[in-house]
């Protein structure tokens, strides 16, 4: 089992998304120092979350056993008729031993503090200056800075935190957190009303339909003329990627790096977390260099992405990096081909019926499950109905060896190169 943040070489905390039990397991195995997740509807990924309040004790236990901190996202705006629900979630998180809540609404922030629950201020608060950090320090130990800040602005805030010895309720120096990798919203700090206007589904309530990710035509209502746009996805920015700039961000004073992706697969979480873990460990060991990032970028490109905007606003570039399409630009595709029907722990051998596609020795397979996380491996020693085989076809009963333990009912995927348009 991976050790916790305080036992790792890097002084920087790596926070990974856990939108499902499988993603949680993947994040822990890949070396996350902390994980964040939502339960119920009062979080900014309410539409994609499949964890419930009943899962809180299990999440807390699993994280404690791994030495990983657990953060409950409770970061939507809260209405009066939801105050009881918000308080109940805070109470449940406190009882379960969840490390902290990530919050925006002052009602949530004040209630969490009143019961002694650690608070982190969400990026939705749009913190862009030191007085704002100082204000929130009366409630919170970690403050997420706005994604639109430059390195110089971040460094100035961090310097004032040190100079003024600004400490949170825990007595520790305030930590500054930055968004390190993943999908960006075209709106400042995600405060967008487009989904609400079109579908009555508010982005600020965790229910965004992402209409900005589509192509649009602009039509002059008086003449009917269509205006030409040089890019069809002018509201859909590329994903931010800072793996080439971690030294600059850490040098500016960022001590918590957050990976976006609570709506992504366990394999996505495992891959991105593993890459940033390696990069941060290299930074701590003094072996990090931006030139190393070529291999890291190749790994990151394998999983879901809309293309990468290297460094983002942090490095002083304007938002002009558009995705160019509505779909993922991952260099690999994954196809579900079956479900494990049995697993023999002593021999590390799994069984499943191949439902679609053919597979052969040497193919890359992926197994995902709530406890297994994301397990990638090369298929070797295939057997069909107990007989050695080089290839399996749909409806074949397949057995094969795995590099580590999996579980019955885990999903099996075939990983293949994606054909680029």
CATH of domain 5-184+237-315: 3.20.20.70
Residues 6 or more apart from 330 whose CB is under 8 A from it?
A: 301, 302, 303, 304, 305, 418
**What's the pLDDT score for residue 321?**
64
In this structure, what DSSP letter does residue 319 have?
A: S
- For residue 221, name the pLDDT band (cuts at 50, 70, 90): confident
* Chain CA centroid to CA 109, Å: 23
Task: Assign 281 to helix, strand or coil.
Answer: helix
Longest Cα pair distance anywhere in the chain, in angstroms?
74
Residues 6 or more apart from 375 whose CB is under 8 A from it?
A: 366, 367, 368, 402, 403, 404, 406
* 351: number of Cβ within 10 Å: 16
Q: Residue 192, by phi and psi: left (phi above 0), alpha (psi -120 to 50) or beta?
A: beta
- Residues 369, 411 contacting (CB under 8 angstroms): yes
* 38: number of Cβ within 10 Å: 27
Query: Measured between alpha carbons, how far is 146 from 298 in angstroms, rounded to an integer?
Result: 28
Q: Residues 196-213, buried b or exposed e (16+ Cβ, 10 A)?
A: beeeebbbbbbbbbbbbb
pLDDT at 22 over 60: yes
**What's the pLDDT score for residue 294?**
86
What is the residue extent of each domain of the chain?
5-184+237-315, 192-227, 332-417
Query: Measured between alpha carbons, how far is 398 from 49 in angstroms, rounded to an integer?
Result: 33
Mean of pLDDT values over 242-247: 93
**Of residues 115 and 183, which shows the higher confidence score?**
115
The residue count for the chain: 421
Query: Measured between alpha carbons, how far is 74 from 104 in angstroms, rounded to an integer?
Result: 8
Packing angle between helix 293-301 and helix 266-285, nearest 10 degrees? 170
Picking from 108, 88, 107, 104, the residue whose alpha carbon sits closest to that of residue 96 is 88
Picking from 70, 59, 11, the residue whose alpha carbon sits closest to that of residue 35 is 70
Stretch (H or E) spanning 94 = helix 83-96
pLDDT at 3 over 50: no
**What's the pLDDT score for residue 14?**
98
Per-residue pLDDT reduced to its tens digit, 341-358: 999 999 999 999 999 999
Structure tokens at 259: 């990976």
Per-residue pLDDT reduced to its tens digit, 75-111: 999 999 999 999 999 999 999 999 999 999 999 999 9
Question: CB-side exposure of 195: number of CA atoms within 13 Å?
Answer: 22
- For residue 230, name the pLDDT band (cuts at 50, 70, 90): low
Query: Measured between alpha carbons, how far is 189 from 169 in angstroms, rounded to an integer?
Result: 25
pLDDT at 193 over 60: no
pLDDT at 137 over 60: yes
Question: CB-side exposure of 56: number of CA atoms within 13 Å?
Answer: 22
Residues 6 or more apart from 165 whose CB is under 8 A from it?
A: 173
CA distances from 286 to 10, 110, 279, 282 (A): 10, 41, 11, 6
Beta strands in 38-115 (DSSP E): 69-74, 100-103
Same fold, 5-184+237-315 and 332-417: no
Average pLDDT, the chain: 88
pLDDT at 228 over 70: no
**Of residues 60 and 6, which shows the higher confidence score?**
60
**What's the pLDDT score for residue 4?**
36
CATH of domain 332-417: 2.40.30.10
- Residues 407, 343 contacting (CB under 8 angstroms): yes
pTM of the full structure: 0.86
Per-residue pLDDT reduced to its tens digit, 380-412: 999 998 899 999 999 999 999 999 999 999 999
Query: Measured between alpha carbons, how far is 143 from 125 in angstroms, rounded to an integer?
Result: 9
Sign of CA dihedral 272, 274, 276, 279: negative
Please tell me which of 159-163, 258-262, 284-288, 330-334 the model is most confident about, judged by mean pLDDT. 159-163
pLDDT at 200 over 70: no
């Amino acid at each position: 089992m991976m050790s916790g943040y305080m036992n790792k070489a890097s002084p920087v905390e790596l926070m990974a998304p856990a939108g499902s039990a499988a993603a949680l397991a993947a994040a822990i195995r890949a070396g996350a120092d902390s994980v964040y997740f939502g339960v119920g509807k009062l979080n900014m990924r309410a539409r994609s979350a499949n964890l419930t309040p009943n899962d809180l004790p299990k999440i807390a236990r699993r994280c404690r056993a791994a030495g990983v901190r657990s953060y409950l996202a409770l970061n939507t705006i809260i209405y009066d008729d939801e105050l009881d629900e918000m308080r109940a979630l805070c109470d449940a998180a406190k009882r379960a031993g969840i490390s902290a809540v990530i919050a925006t609404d002052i009602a949530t922030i004040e209630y969490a503090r009143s019961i002694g629950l650690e608070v982190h201020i969400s990026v939705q608060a749009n913190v862009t200056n030191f007085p704002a950090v100082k204000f929130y320090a009366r409630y919170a130990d970690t403050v997420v800075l706005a994604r639109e800040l430059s390195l110089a602005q971040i460094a100035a805030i961090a310097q004032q935190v040190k100079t003024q010895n600004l400490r949170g309720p825990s007595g520790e120096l305030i930590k500054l957190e930055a968004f390190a990798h993943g999908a960006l919203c075209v709106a400042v700090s995600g405060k967008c009303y487009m989904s609400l206007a079109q579908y009555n589904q508010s982005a600020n309530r965790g229910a965004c339909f992402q209409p900005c990710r589509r192509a649009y035509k602009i039509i002059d209502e008086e003449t009917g003329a269509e205006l030409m746009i040089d890019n069809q996805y002018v509201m859909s920015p590329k994903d931010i990627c800072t793996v080439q700039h971690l030294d600059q961000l850490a040098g500016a004073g960022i001590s918590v790096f957050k990976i976006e992706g609570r709506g992504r697969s366990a394999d996505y979480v495992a891959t991105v977390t593993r890459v940033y873990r390696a990069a941060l460990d290299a930074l701590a060991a003094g072996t990090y260099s931006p030139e190393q990032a070529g291999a890291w970028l190749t790994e990151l490109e394998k999983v879901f992405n809309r293309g990468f905007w290297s460094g983002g606003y942090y490095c002083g570039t304007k938002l002009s990096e558009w995705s160019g399409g509505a779909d993922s630009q991952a260099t690999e595709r994954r196809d579900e081909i079956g479900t494990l029907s049995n697993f023999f722990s002593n021999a590390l051998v799994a069984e499943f019926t191949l439902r679609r596609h053919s597979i052969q020795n040497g193919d890359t397979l992926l197994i995902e499950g709530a406890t297994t996380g994301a397990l990638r491996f090369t298929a070797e020693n295939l057997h069909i109905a107990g007989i050695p085989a080089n290839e399996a076809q749909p409806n074949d009963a397949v057995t094969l060896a795995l590099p580590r333990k999996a579980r019955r009912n885990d999903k099996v995927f075939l990983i293949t190169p994606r054909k680029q348009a």
